[in-house]
Structure 1
């Protein structure tokens, strides 16, 4: 019987032990001050022990407790492997990817250890089945009064945890709000549910509930737009039959003043600068400073939940639509975007982790892009949703792109609240921009190689503060001009320019106009040669004449009236200290 007990107890502790090994921080943005173990690895280990003792104390019989313990003992091995490999617990992000992928891609994530992992899982299943049989046969009863003591002790422990977590939340609420404004990186991470969600096995039901919510959102959106008719009208009948490919690249956390292409002092975009056919827009802004809000506004004609997306419009125009992403497939921040991604004919998620971990780089999308371009489909829309320069910046590029030094290492914990390591933080950020430059140049090379009439539009979802001016923090999600200014450019193939000379001239003429990323819907449909009944309130960037719109933002009104010069304005001594030195 002791061996049977150990075979059910020990595996369930593996994920918590894995947390102790990787020391993964609960919150990557490094909120401080914080009671370190609330939500940390030791907290998770303690909750795992509580789980193991709890069913025995509550049920008092091994035959009943085994039903609660066995499923989590079986799932503990893959959970522990995921923690050790990717440094974070599983969750809706990985469940969504698994739902979108196939066996070959899963084996690729496991890497060279896939055989050992599968063997370990098989051994674990066999051991758990044997242990459950022994527990069932023994039918052990816990009748001693120590059972009541244990129940009382566990209840007191849980009440203490609740009180500590609530107290932590009150401490956070009492901090200076000007110093710690709302940030999408930290939202939904406070409170008991968020702390339990990172633990094992307590968090599994919560994670599955989030994934269930994601699936319901996808289904609801599909029903809402399933019968929509966007009213496609081709500008020229000849364009309807011309083979073409149009690509929208959604950048992540990009600010134009760190790009050489937009006048940045550093050599961060050497490949794009050398590329012909690029039209860079110098005064572009986003509609929101958080990905989950800005990307849906990029992809739809209005803010209405049932508004048609870019994928719906292109599908009705006869294009085969594709969504390729290195961002998460599901989760608190990902679901609003994933519901739109599912409207594409095909969707592919290359990343087995969400933005908090180091997983696949944006370059992982290139093989799938190349394969799609090789298909005989005459007309294609391809959306590439990248991770770009999202914190942790060192996670966004391979070692050979560490051009600006010293830079934060991948093993370092970035701190956006204290500026003591600002030069290293900014160097890592600029290195991520150099990798984005390489990636975008590679995408353009693939498009150019097809010889087709092709266009590419790049626009970032939002910017990023880097201790600018009087701002005492980095990151995004708050009211600062740098969080809304974004890089935007077009690449136009020679074949497309030859067929659309007037529109090419119009795009060049408008490149210094004040524009918004919300024009992506109207611009992309017009690039492809068709109009829709309701193109949206933001104008096509190739229109003649172009009338600059009021650049409304989701939470802070008119950008030019209410955000320009706000919060992080003025010269930044810290930014000035970061020179242009490199390898």
Structure 2
């Protein structure tokens, strides 16, 4: 048989096994890490699926130039292997998926800090793990062989691969969004799980969000300080702690009367706590809520966060050394504002560098940096601890030993069998959140501080709760009470209480919006300044009840007074909101 005949014979039948080995080789560089993520339950299936589809992209040059298949595979594979080491190694060390947040941390750290991290987490077994990972790639490369197709078939196959891997996702996003930038961002989100796009996309997003954050920080520096600031505790050692929770509805806490024991540790501490039971958030989303909670902005002045000092800057002006410990994602488009607040602090501890919010991340990680900060020799400290709390997906928020609720005991009859696992996992997340908050209080108390700790959540969460028991998540266009009712508790140290005795029993049931939180915090901390408004302080004798406005302040006509909505009639309030979708439901992974 002549050479021409042999080639013709090869092209007559498609070498499916050869195609399979090619694909498996290129999948390896994204798939191994994504498979580990799946096996450990670190994150959802979306990343694995996207990495699988995008791995086919690298088949194109091998299909078009089969005579150089092994050489092309070696070059492309070598580059992909090098790029994949970042994600593979990061997962081995931290048990998290590589993201732009990691790039942010890397660029914010110096060589010494980077060396300390590696020394702390490096273990002997990592060397054979990296060698085995490289060996696996080499063994797969040895199986790669040319797959000969007729030129038209090769071109058609290449176009099909391009369309399936990147063409269709791109067309879908650009057809869904009128804004090309929004379409690009959504497209990037879909290709990010695969090598090398996790580095390319991560770095581009890092540069974009860093520029946004720097612009916000520069704007913050130009804001004038508060006028005539006076501190009742000036010159005294003091430690004040603000713990910000996430997505926690107080109606699901036994501390607030929920029949299931979801907060056993806080229940035991109740005699030491001031438990405020009528506080609501103005917005059901983290960024929008905290822009008001941490600044002088409110529903009537929503842009004031850009022109007035933040709580962090207020405490710095009062002479406190400031710290920010966060288990939230570090730098994403949604979280740039949070990172800006954190960068205003003197020291930061970023603990959550997962690519997506729906990933296994426990708030117990805050204990170590919290203890470190408490031991700091600074005489006056202001500490913010930002938890991931009970954010979706709830099963990722608690370790196995906190899976207390698994059956229908204490569950309303309205909860269906399909809803039950999610309902139970939320209660388990609340129970673990109880452990974290109570542990922070106990750790703080053990340091014999002169100060107080205040815990509140940014917003609530509807998890098949009355008055509309089919709703899961948050939707500002169709509000229900669980989305807005939040826990608000204060623990005062004996030293602080003795120096500043205050009876707040008359204030515990006051209707209050956390949009005016900065005035309450200032009052508790003994701070006064020209901009302080005692009538907006929950614990002040001069407190003045105000409408508890909820909704989007950019559409003032849609604002609703929450205090006028009884839980059983909350759903009727949605009729007051323009374009409220029927039976609105927020999917898992909803934005913060």
Query: Which TM class, normalised by the smaller chain length?
Result: 0.7 to 0.9
CA-CA distance at 1:204 after TM superposition:
3.3
Could you say if the C-alpha distance between residues 530 and 191 of structure 1 is closer, same or farther in structure 2, counting changes exceeding 3 Å? closer
1:484-523 per-position Cα deviation (integer Å, ceiling 9, x unaligned): 111111111222222222xx22x33222111112222222
Indicate the residue corresponding to 1:181 in structure 2.
none
- The SS at the match of 2:194 is coil
On the 8 A contact 2:226/2:309 being kept in 1, the answer is: no
- The SS at the match of 2:419 is helix
CA-CA distance at 1:529 after TM superposition:
2.0
Query: For this pair of structures, how many residues does the alignment match?
Result: 516
1:223 aligns with 2:218: yes
On the 8 A contact 1:362/1:386 being kept in 2, the answer is: yes
Residues 471-486 of structure 1: matches in 2 within 5 Å? 471-478=469-476, 479-481=478-480, 482-486=482-486
Could you say if the C-alpha distance between residues 167 and 10 of structure 1 is closer, same or farther in structure 2, counting changes exceeding 3 Å? closer
Could you say if the C-alpha distance between residues 333 and 450 of structure 1 is closer, same or farther in structure 2, counting changes exceeding 3 Å? same
On the 8 A contact 2:192/2:201 being kept in 1, the answer is: yes
Deviates more, 1:12-21 or 1:196-205: 12-21
- The SS at the match of 1:456 is strand
Could you say if the C-alpha distance between residues 380 and 262 of structure 1 is closer, same or farther in structure 2, counting changes exceeding 3 Å? same
Deviates more, 1:190-199 or 1:371-380: 190-199
Specify which of 356, 366, 370 is matched with residue 358 of structure 2.
356
CA-CA distance at 1:83 after TM superposition:
5.8
Indicate the residue corresponding to 2:262 in structure 1.
268
1:70-122 per-position Cα deviation (integer Å, ceiling 9, x unaligned): 543202134235568888742123333445564477459957xx433355557
1:48 aligns with 2:55: yes
CA-CA distance at 1:362 after TM superposition:
1.5
Could you say if the C-alpha distance between residues 367 and 191 of structure 1 is closer, same or farther in structure 2, counting changes exceeding 3 Å? closer
Normalised TM-score (structure 1): 0.75
On the 8 A contact 1:232/1:531 being kept in 2, the answer is: no
On the 8 A contact 2:92/2:126 being kept in 1, the answer is: no
- The SS at the match of 1:344 is coil
2 CA distance for matches of 1:279 and 1:118? 52
CA-CA distance at 1:312 after TM superposition:
1.1
2 CA distance for matches of 1:265 and 1:193? 45
CA-CA distance at 1:546 after TM superposition:
0.8
Greater CA radius of gyration, 1 or 2?
A: 2
On the 8 A contact 1:169/1:191 being kept in 2, the answer is: yes
Indicate the residue corresponding to 2:295 in structure 1.
300
Indicate the residue corresponding to 1:574 in structure 2.
none
Could you say if the C-alpha distance between residues 484 and 29 of structure 1 is closer, same or farther in structure 2, counting changes exceeding 3 Å? farther
RMSD: 4.4
1:247 aligns with 2:248: no
Could you say if the C-alpha distance between residues 542 and 156 of structure 1 is closer, same or farther in structure 2, counting changes exceeding 3 Å? same
CA-CA distance at 1:425 after TM superposition:
2.2
Could you say if the C-alpha distance between residues 29 and 125 of structure 1 is closer, same or farther in structure 2, counting changes exceeding 3 Å? closer
On the 8 A contact 2:53/2:165 being kept in 1, the answer is: no
- The SS at the match of 1:266 is coil
CA-CA distance at 1:296 after TM superposition:
2.6
Specify which of 564, 567, 571 is matched with residue 571 of structure 2.
567
Indicate the residue corresponding to 1:382 in structure 2.
383
Normalised TM-score (structure 2): 0.74
Residues 49-88 of structure 1: matches in 2 within 5 Å? 49-51=56-58, 53-54=60-61, 70-82=78-90
Indicate the residue corresponding to 2:537 in structure 1.
540
1:543-580 per-position Cα deviation (integer Å, ceiling 9, x unaligned): 2221123323352513427876333999xxxxxxxxxx
Indicate the residue corresponding to 2:495 in structure 1.
495
1 CA distance for matches of 2:407 and 2:92? 27
- The SS at the match of 1:544 is coil
- The SS at the match of 1:314 is helix
1:24-63 per-position Cα deviation (integer Å, ceiling 9, x unaligned): 8999899xxxxxxxx66355223223136449969x9999
On the 8 A contact 1:284/1:487 being kept in 2, the answer is: yes
Could you say if the C-alpha distance between residues 200 and 406 of structure 1 is closer, same or farther in structure 2, counting changes exceeding 3 Å? farther
- The SS at the match of 1:458 is strand
On the 8 A contact 1:74/1:124 being kept in 2, the answer is: no
1:224-245 per-position Cα deviation (integer Å, ceiling 9, x unaligned): 1113332254445x51111111
Indicate the residue corresponding to 1:511 in structure 2.
508
CA-CA distance at 1:477 after TM superposition:
3.9
- The SS at the match of 1:347 is strand
CA-CA distance at 1:65 after TM superposition:
9.8
Could you say if the C-alpha distance between residues 8 and 73 of structure 1 is closer, same or farther in structure 2, counting changes exceeding 3 Å? farther
1 CA distance for matches of 2:324 and 2:164? 46
1:429-465 per-position Cα deviation (integer Å, ceiling 9, x unaligned): 2222222222222211222223332111111111111
1:445 aligns with 2:420: no
Indicate the residue corresponding to 1:154 in structure 2.
158
1 CA distance for matches of 2:475 and 2:260? 25
CA-CA distance at 1:335 after TM superposition:
2.1
On the 8 A contact 1:221/1:306 being kept in 2, the answer is: no
Indicate the residue corresponding to 1:36 in structure 2.
none
CA-CA distance at 1:202 after TM superposition:
3.5
Could you say if the C-alpha distance between residues 308 and 50 of structure 1 is closer, same or farther in structure 2, counting changes exceeding 3 Å? same
Could you say if the C-alpha distance between residues 374 and 513 of structure 1 is closer, same or farther in structure 2, counting changes exceeding 3 Å? same
1 CA distance for matches of 2:35 and 2:26? 15
On the 8 A contact 1:20/1:42 being kept in 2, the answer is: no
On the 8 A contact 2:423/2:464 being kept in 1, the answer is: no
Could you say if the C-alpha distance between residues 406 and 93 of structure 1 is closer, same or farther in structure 2, counting changes exceeding 3 Å? farther
CA-CA distance at 1:370 after TM superposition:
1.6
- The SS at the match of 2:456 is strand
Could you say if the C-alpha distance between residues 26 and 376 of structure 1 is closer, same or farther in structure 2, counting changes exceeding 3 Å? closer
Residues 286-435 of structure 1: matches in 2 within 5 Å? 286-302=281-297, 303=303, 304-353=305-354, 354-359=356-361, 361-406=362-407, 419-435=416-432
2 CA distance for matches of 1:536 and 1:152? 70
2 CA distance for matches of 1:166 and 1:24? 29
Could you say if the C-alpha distance between residues 26 and 388 of structure 1 is closer, same or farther in structure 2, counting changes exceeding 3 Å? closer
Gaps of 5+ in 1: 1-5, 31-38, 130-141, 174-186, 408-417, 571-583
Could you say if the C-alpha distance between residues 383 and 147 of structure 1 is closer, same or farther in structure 2, counting changes exceeding 3 Å? farther
2 CA distance for matches of 1:153 and 1:553? 54
Indicate the residue corresponding to 1:521 in structure 2.
518
On the 8 A contact 2:293/2:518 being kept in 1, the answer is: yes
CA-CA distance at 1:292 after TM superposition:
2.6
- The SS at the match of 1:253 is coil
Could you say if the C-alpha distance between residues 29 and 21 of structure 1 is closer, same or farther in structure 2, counting changes exceeding 3 Å? closer
Specify which of 100, 104, 107 is matched with residue 96 of structure 1.
104
CA-CA distance at 1:273 after TM superposition:
2.5
On the 8 A contact 2:56/2:165 being kept in 1, the answer is: no
Could you say if the C-alpha distance between residues 464 and 8 of structure 1 is closer, same or farther in structure 2, counting changes exceeding 3 Å? closer
